[in-house]
Chain A
Amino acid sequence: MALERDVYKALEDVVGPENISEDPVVIESYPFPIRKATTGEDTYLPRFEAITLPKDTAEVQALVKLCNKHGIQYKASSTGWLYCDPTGPGCIKMDLRRMNRILEINEKSMYAVVEPYVIYGQLQAELMKRGLNCNVTGAGSNCSALPLAAHVNLGHLSQSGSYGERNQLALEWVTGDGEIVRMGSLGSLDEWFCGDGPGPSLRGIIRGNTVPLGGLGVFTKAAQKVYHWAGPARFPMEGVCPNYTPSYIPPGFMIRYLSFENVDKLIEAVQKIGESEIAFELMGFNTAMMASNAATDNEEDIKYYKQFSEQVQGPGFMIEIMGNSPRDFEYKKRVLEIIMEETGAWSLKPVEDPEMGRGFLWRFIRTVASIRETTRATGWGGGTVGGTDLFPLMTRYIQHSSYLKEDLVKQGLLLDDACYPFVQSIEHGHTGHGEILIRYTPQSPDHIERVQGMLDREANKTAIEGRFGVPQHVWSDKLHDMYGPHTCNYHLWLRKIKKTFDPNQSSESSNYITAKE
């Protein structure tokens, strides 16, 4: 379904001819890369009708209004790793690549304001020059630094740097029908420091359990809270790709990988570390993720996985400590030693190795190896993600998926890597979040169904029957309608939000919720 000529012309008038295309070559390059073997006979994702490249909020608003006027849909995204394809015809793309400015870094009030195509690699590097740091979404520093752009925005730094829902400050939002809303202090004072006021506070509305994933208009500018950084303005990096490493560990930093006899001991250690607030990062990577992080290719990955697996006693986590002073650093190290003694933790020796350790240290701070961990094995991965709730609760929830994974591994359907649940502590143990990652070579649609389909079904069943709350893999009408009746009918409210702010359903919301009755 090609766009009517007058509609295309109207869109073109907004962004200019250089910034719109409906050429098949351009259109075909945008869908998520799919292997033919996985789709069945000639089943491809629908294509966008046109790709647009707006340069600012005014252009976004104009495009949104045109879509509403002409009854077409739009989907906006920035770096565009996932969740940004249309599910039907009659939809245009807003590629926000040209909206790429850091608008402000306020050192005194500790916030940063960015447009959607600033990536975390840029923002973090700029912040570090100023003695500041930000949470980086776990997907990596190659992703948008707009907290609302990146799923839940949990990341390696969430132990001390929280995550999207909590870091979100003032925001500029073009609603589904084209109204510009300036939330929080931006709405009344033209300042970015607060998401809740003075001025309208709609943080819960625009965010929900995850984020609207392109289904509720376009977020064009956003402020986020940033944090103290005690490290150097520039990490002392050396080496040639892919073998980068800091030439030394800057004073005040330490990294360890600790493993435990069982999940109970791990939970105890995480809680004690949280209570004492000694950790800068704490991520429950299993040995497979640690191996992939360090390895520069798949052959090395297999070698490291074997090596690391032989040196752990059970589930574990990576912990980084950052001292604000020599005394603070010594204190934190000592507290960690005590907790290790009390919980019987083993420290993985290769991470203590100065060369390997400093490589890990920086990769986890800059968050650059998530691609290695999730997709290098075959280019294909998946799994299931839990919600955000009490750390022990989320650990128990995701542990169930790890049993399912073990079974799939036994059937030869997945890569045989560590099945320990991957859980992370947030805000020094205030909450937690778990995930099970799987890697495999899909041979057919049936293979995907047997693996991902089964995991999804079982994870949802566990979440509902076990009262574990709504996980963060819940998007789409189908899933919201499944969870809603068990969770205070939240789906009805979510649908009302969608209807109110996007009455014409112009903002393509297949990854959010539609306004259907």
Chain B
Amino acid sequence: MVLEDYRSDMETCRRCSACKFIPLEMALGYDHVNVCPSIARYNFHTYSAGGRMVFQVAMMEGRIDYSDKLLEVVYNCQMCGACDVSCKYAMDMEVIDPISEFRIKCVEDGHTLPALDSVINSLRKQNTMVPGSKAKRGDWAEGLDVKDFTKQNAKVIYHAGCRTSFDEDLWKIARGTVSLLQKAGVDVGIGGENEACCGGRAYQMGYKEDFLRQAKQNMEMFRKAGAEILVTGCADCYQAFKVLCDKFGMKGDIEVLHTSEYFDRLIKEGKLKPAKKVAATVTYHDPCYLGRMGEPYIHWEGKEIPGHIRIFDPPKKYRRGTYGVYEPPRDVLKSIPGLKLAEMDRIKEYAWCCGAGGGVRESNPEFAGWTAQQRIAEAEATGAEAIVTACPGCEQSFRDAIKASGSSLKTYDIVELLEKAV
């Protein structure tokens, strides 16, 4: 579907402002009712999903044209999808999809931001969305006794992702993941320097063709390896392989799991036993692309039935964030002896974004940092000593925000805590 196909959805917006707030059944007080970082930071209605619906229609009708301001608004959005959940609490209309399609149109029309073009150039040249050379992508695994699935068949592929592969501070997560999988007796292989970017974030930024190229390349490589399961610890990669590849008919039969899902399964099967006590109180941050944006894609093709209630033939099932990955990471944390989980006010499908998504970390670091600071403050309010997450992008955001604010909060990936307990 292209932007024009969402016109009816966009025109269904009634300016109720629900997209600005968490689903209000769950509001616990004055604080933490905002759900959209963009409107929360920039305040003009324009930055909310409702405002975006209206100006996107205005653009389609030729009442506005491309401008620096338009691009500034378009790209100051993490594509976190929180607006989509809050709107669809009450409405039957697509929200994040037309916002995404508008970005794709901007890219197709040649209206992008230099910072994002630079990221995409790196992707095209080095197969990575972060600074680094292709040859060094597998350095994180140096010294590990692990299969290279491009040379040897493996039942399970572990995809580390760009951020983890090129951020030395995050290597411990990838190495810990492999170690835990091997302890559980899993036949695991990695791609090493042959691993390629999933392209998910390129899609978030509007570079659809770049995503499709990466997806094709990756899925062909996975297919050749004959693997049954693809595991990743990155929420962006997870959503790209599981949701986007499915959307574009490229996923095939491979089962895509996030590390938190797979470790949860292995723990429940008795193959991993977290026995060592980890005495700490932590809070858990739901990555947007593991949670609400990570729910399975629903294939649907049909048409609206004319009438006075908006229904479709065949009936359309909306993705509302309901079936994202929420419990497995929590179950992993709960399985660790001595670990206490203190929840934040905004959790699961209405979690506040870490700030990194949609290319915002690259195009507007100040906004990304501001968004992360909000989350750190919310985490601190729980009394937890650490914020745990399940995505390297979130971890980087929080690490930077903690450093900038002088907070004493620690940040962990879920794998790090599990490794301590096993």
Instruction: Give A residues with C-beta under 8 Å from B.
Output: 19, 21, 23-26, 28-33, 35-36, 44, 51, 53, 79-82, 95, 97-98, 102, 118-119, 121-126, 129, 140-143, 234, 237, 240-244, 296-299, 301-302, 362-363, 366, 368-369, 371-372, 375-379, 414-416, 439-441
Q: Can you offer 15 A-B residue contacts whose CB atoms are under 8 A?
A: A24-B69, A29-B52, A51-B44, A53-B43, A82-B15, A125-B30, A142-B16, A142-B18, A237-B26, A299-B315, A375-B90, A377-B310, A379-B12, A379-B14, A440-B308
- Residues of A near B73 (CB, < 8 A) are 25-26
Contact partner of B69 (CB less than 8 A), chosen from A23, A30, A441, is: A23
Question: Is the CB–CB distance between B46 and A297 below 8 Å?
Answer: no
Residues of B within 8 A of A124 (CB): 27
In the complex, whether B57 has a CB less than 8 A from a CB of chain A is yes
Q: What is the bound-complex CA distance between A345 and B243, given in angstroms? A: 51
With contacts A19-B43, A98-B43, A142-B24 taken as known, whether A26 is within 8 angstroms of B12 at the C-beta atoms is no
Question: What 17 additional pairs, Cβ within 8 angstroms, besides A141-B27, A368-B90?
Answer: A21-B69, A26-B44, A33-B50, A53-B44, A80-B17, A81-B15, A102-B30, A122-B30, A124-B27, A125-B29, A125-B30, A242-B89, A363-B25, A371-B91, A375-B90, A378-B309, A379-B93
Select which of A143, A299, A366, A416 is within 8 A of B25 by beta carbon.
A366
Instruction: Point out the residues of chain B lying under 8 angstroms from A441, CB to CB.
Output: 306-308, 310
Binding stretch for chain A, among B316-324, B335-343, B361-369: B316-324
Closest A residue to B349 using CB positions: A241
Cβ contacts under 8 Å, A98 to chain B: 43
User: Which residues of chain A are within 8 angstroms of B350 by Cβ–Cβ distance?
Assistant: 241
A19, A23, A26, A240: the one within 8 Å of B326 (CB):
A240
B89 partner, pick from A26, A118, A121, A241, beta carbons under 8 A: A241
Is there a chain A Cβ closer than 8 Å to B11's Cβ? yes
Bound state CA distance, A242 and B320, in angstroms? 7
| Bound complex: CA A13 to CA B395 (Å) | 40
**How near does chain B come to A149, taking the closest CB pair, in angstroms?**
12
Residues of A within 8 A of B311 (CB): 298-299, 302
Contact with A along B64-89 (1 / 0, CB 8 A): 10010110010000000000011011
By beta carbon, the residue of chain B nearest A377 is B309
Report B37-54 residues with CB < 8 Å from chain A CB. Answer: 43-46, 50-54
Q: For B64, what are the chain A residues with a Cβ–Cβ distance below 8 Å?
A: 24-25, 28
Given contacts A24-B67, A33-B54, contact A297 B92 (CB under 8 A): yes
Residue on B nearest A366 in the bound complex, by CB: B25
B11 lies within 8 A of A33 (CB):
yes
Return the contact of A362 from the options B10, B25, B54, B349 (Cβ within 8 A).
Answer: B25
In the complex, are the beta carbons of B44 and A32 less than 8 A apart?
A: no
Residues of B within 8 A of A (CB): 10-18, 21, 23-30, 33, 43-46, 50-55, 57-58, 61, 63-64, 67, 69-70, 73, 85-86, 88-93, 306-311, 315, 318, 320-324, 326, 348-350
B63 touches A28 (CB 8 A): yes
- CB-based nearest B residue for A129: B29
In whole Å, how far is B349's beta carbon from the nearest beta carbon of chain A? 5
- Which of B91, B307, B315 contacts A375 (CB under 8 A)? B91
A213 to chain B, nearest CB (A): 15
Q: How far is the CB of B178 from chain A (nearest CB, A)?
A: 32
Of A23, A240, A376, the contact of B349 (CB 8 Å cutoff):
A240
Cα A242 to Cα B67 in complex, Å, equals 37
Chain A residues, Cβ within 8 Å of B26: 237, 244
- A377 contacts which chain B residues (CB < 8 A)? 308-310
- Chain B residues near A122 (CB, 8 Å)? 27, 29-30, 33
Beta-carbon contact of B27 and A241 below 8 Å: no
In the bound complex, residues from chain A placing their C-beta under 8 Å from that of B15 are 32-33, 80-82
Do A29 and B17 touch across chains, with their CB atoms under 8 A apart?
no
Separation in Å of the B107 CB from the closest CB of chain A? 18
Q: Are A119 and B33 in contact (CB under 8 A)?
A: yes
Chain A residue numbers with a CB within 8 Å of B13 are 33, 379
Q: Which of B28, B52, B320 has the most chain A CB atoms closer than 10 A to its own CB?
A: B28
Across the interface, name the chain B residue whose C-beta is closest to A235.
B25
Measured between beta carbons, the chain B residues less than 8 angstroms from A95 are 43-45
Which A residue sits closest to B321, measured CB to CB? Answer: A241
8 Å CB contact of A243 from B33, B67, B322: B322
B39 — nearest CB in chain A belongs to which residue?
A: A97
